[in-house]
Structure 1
């Protein structure tokens, strides 16, 4: 996959400089795509399930990885602690959704299921949990662990995710964060402090981050259940927008230059993140804007060829970056879908591409 090719080129250019990843809500393990940075990958995972943290620690091969059990949130006494929950609204909507009916149907079976199966079914609440009365404030945990330079933060705790995010308020630059992946909710009220997408988006923009990708997950009602997307009951092929994944990052290629000055290593990691997010155009734009900065790390023209290949997954022999741009400048038909109905061949090819290059 071209995204991996480009990220591998970046990882090789960074030599011993680590890629530091913090995963809050790490059940199931970290996303495999970040393993491209090993052996120079640092991992700190946090999850409410003690049983899952033990499992991850036992199976982890990276010596620079740690999994900590605990409920993440805001510190005691914070004015917004326990006030960001979307549950009052969700409690009105969830019972109407088909996945909740499936959970009802499976209740007795799940009660007897082993840990791995319960985690696969996202029934983490039924596993052995950490002490909820002793919350983990993630920035404080990082400070205690001596983590002064973090590249990537992911938050997905199926609870008050906005609380965890708010614990980083004003501290993104302190920790060197350049990219953040967040689970967001498309339900909720007009409250300014609820875990909803509009509040998450405003918060991240105040921190100087821009939205680079947004995935929307649809959930059908039990009145007319849709087919599940995955082998487990969750999002469906149709239904209302319920939750999703938002990808935020700094934008050094912007005309205003962004709020922070990043060194070559941070810029290279950011370009790799863009590619692994499947937004290779943002990576290419960054390479062109900071070409002189990247040249000591890797050959920029080769990197652009890798990114151009990522933009052409349907070609057995993808064009070079220069040839690809030349085709675009000629306004060739290859940049358009054909007029008329979508044929079966095109549909099958689109399905194959989605299978080979899934969005996460």
Structure 2
């Protein structure tokens, strides 16, 4: 749920920006319904919103595109039946018992057979050859840069990132990446590998999502402190475009505003506020398009929980009052 974006939209601050999302592994799974981005509030950016979804499942993409066509949406969204990878030579898709566990890496029986639930979900059913492409290749003539990317491709996240290293990833402002801590798939990159690549690409890990654990096969005993072995989670990564010691090509008012919106949509309200405050102080007096002081103060004053915790008396907010236009 967003905190500042609805008011930014109401006041016209979002009219000049176009947000582009790329969801790799966009198949809808009932137990992970939150992956349906059209139901997370992103439509507030319409009509200046484009969503690209990628999934190797042709039927899933056709079904999703048909659903969108019947809804008369006022943003651009398309789901492409291609597997994104780090090359365009095609690959073997390992089809598993659970459709959400299919991967371009083979299931690692040595590991999954010892974990309850995972052995069934990751049971290999068949294999098939699929076409692959890269982010850089597919988006060679992209009109708007990819601002946000979410990766959920069962161990192949690093490969997808590497496939966009030349043109696409350098423009990405935020990423949500599924990361594994054990080899559910043979030879897959783990969290340390993905994290190192993203840090080297000037992303910062802000938080992780729900932690998913695995219990030993046939053993239900666990403690309150440790719910089994830590298997996977989602990592939330953002750019830091306001560090004074960095001169990044993305360090423009429009990109920082987009970053603030992404932080807000992903529930990092403190970072969103910091970015909006930075824009206000840096550009707000000379360009009202980036003066968010009145907007910020209205949002905070209309939120009982924020008022209860005295947020209006914080030095950061007090300083913003110097930039207000409303009396």
1:248 — aligned with what? 237
Deviation sequence 1:74-133 (CA, Å, 0-9, x none): 21479xx99xx99678432211222135659xx9xxxxxxxxxxxxxxx9x88xx9x734
Q: Is the 8 A contact 2:212 2:231 kept in 1?
A: yes
Q: Is the 8 A contact 1:10 1:268 kept in 2?
A: no
CA distance 1:197–1:133, change in 2 (3 Å): same
Gaps of 5+ in 1: 108-122, 228-236, 328-360
Q: Is the 8 A contact 2:22 2:149 kept in 1?
A: yes
1:135 — aligned with what? 132
CA distance 1:76–1:149, change in 2 (3 Å): closer
2:13 — aligned with what? 13
1:40 — aligned with what? 48
**What's the offset of the Cα at 1:201?**
0.9
**Aligned 1:111-260 pairs, distance under 5 A:** 132-144=129-141, 146-172=142-168, 176-188=171-183, 194-215=188-209, 216-225=211-220, 238-257=227-246, 259-260=248-249
Measured in 2, the distance between the counterparts of 1:92 and 1:302 equals 58
Measured in 2, the distance between the counterparts of 1:309 and 1:163 equals 45
Matched, 1:322 2:318: no
Q: Is the 8 A contact 2:198 2:204 kept in 1?
A: yes
More helix by share: 1
CA distance 1:86–1:198, change in 2 (3 Å): farther
2:112 — aligned with what? 94
Q: Is the 8 A contact 1:72 1:138 kept in 2?
A: yes
- Residue correspondences, number: 286
TM score, norm. by length of structure 1: 0.67
2:62 — aligned with what? 54
1:275 — aligned with what? 264
2:32 — aligned with what? none
Pick from 25, 36, 50 the counterpart of residue 30 of structure 1.
36
Q: Is the 8 A contact 1:20 1:41 kept in 2?
A: yes
Which shows bigger deviation, 286-295 or 237-246? 286-295
Provide the aligned C-alpha RMSD in A: 3.9
* Matched residue SS, 1:262: coil
Deviation sequence 1:169-189 (CA, Å, 0-9, x none): 243465x21111111111149
* Matched residue SS, 1:153: strand
Measured in 1, the distance between the counterparts of 2:129 and 2:301 equals 47
* Matched residue SS, 1:98: coil
1:73 — aligned with what? 85
Q: Greater relative contact order: 1 or 2 (C-alpha under 8 angstroms, separation 6 or more)?
A: 1
CA distance 1:296–1:86, change in 2 (3 Å): same
Q: Is the 8 A contact 2:83 2:132 kept in 1?
A: yes
TM score, norm. by length of structure 2: 0.73
2:288 — aligned with what? 296
CA distance 1:36–1:326, change in 2 (3 Å): closer
Which shows bigger deviation, 242-251 or 4-13? 4-13
Which shows bigger deviation, 259-268 or 207-216? 259-268
**What's the offset of the Cα at 1:150?**
1.5
CA distance 1:184–1:147, change in 2 (3 Å): farther
Q: Is the 8 A contact 2:87 2:132 kept in 1?
A: yes
**What's the offset of the Cα at 1:239?**
1.5
